[in-house]
Structure 1
Amino acid sequence: MRQSAGLLLYRKTGPEVEFFLIHPGGPLFVKKDLGVWSVPKGEFENDEEPLHAAIREFEEEVGTKIDGDFIELQPIIQKGGKKVLCWAIEGDLDPETLKSNTFEMQWPPKSGKMQSFVEVDRGDWFVYEKAILAIKDRQIPLLDQLVTLLA
């Protein structure tokens, strides 16, 4: 089974909890918004410690090193069958500072032309009501778990 590891960054602003989510880069997601946002995450090899992979992926996709008290959440299974291991961590960052790594893909399709795209084109903070609309539906349980733990 393919596995990903990720971090759910959150902050408390008064009574509200806000979640930091990322929007996938590349040409396939340019016109998509609701339902495609995600926690920063990525695949890892079986010999890599999942939490270390989650920290590495966050840094690659957001451009910020993160450390602190990680809260392990229950894994979820995405639509494609991939298992996602996730940890929540309290923190803050300015979405304007986001700097993602890049990937290459053939674009336009069947053109034979390789182009480079950012893996993540933007990130933002969402209150729960907006986060559940923005995030991939299979990742909503990650938000719910954190809300329950913080209550």
Structure 2
Amino acid sequence: MAKTMTIGVAKKEEIHAVYQLEQRLFGDNCYPDFFIRQAYDCWPAGLLVAREQDNVVGYVLCAPQFNSMSLKMTEGWILALAVDASVQGRGVGKKLMQEAMVALTGCEKLWLTVHPNNHAKKLYQQLGFTDVEQESDYFGFDQPRVKMVCVAV
């Protein structure tokens, strides 16, 4: 029997599972648990999870960027994407990204960063993101990231 995958806004009781997934996949480079908790409070509709049989198997965190005090949302960020190894290759990351992009509808530009060697970069390119620049120390010494943008059509 096929397992049913659903994607929706994270529930408060799922925050720890999101952190555990983040920690499992990114180790020392993961977001701290308190950041994920505060992200839930700051952008509750932007913390989306993929669930399989009530287990969190992926998540994406997206947030609006306010470029002026007018608080008009013109740009957005995909701050994190994580998919459990047990479901990688099944389109979970793509579905999460598509839902995040829908959540940020109205933004003129969407931004994200990715390690230059991360295979997810191909997914981002398929979804319309293009390279803007690469910084060798984006997250600290020897932590390179490619900054990518998707311009709304």
* TM-score where L is the length of structure 2: 0.27
* TM-score where L is the length of structure 1: 0.27
Higher-RCO chain (CA-CA 8 Å, sequence separation at least 6): 1
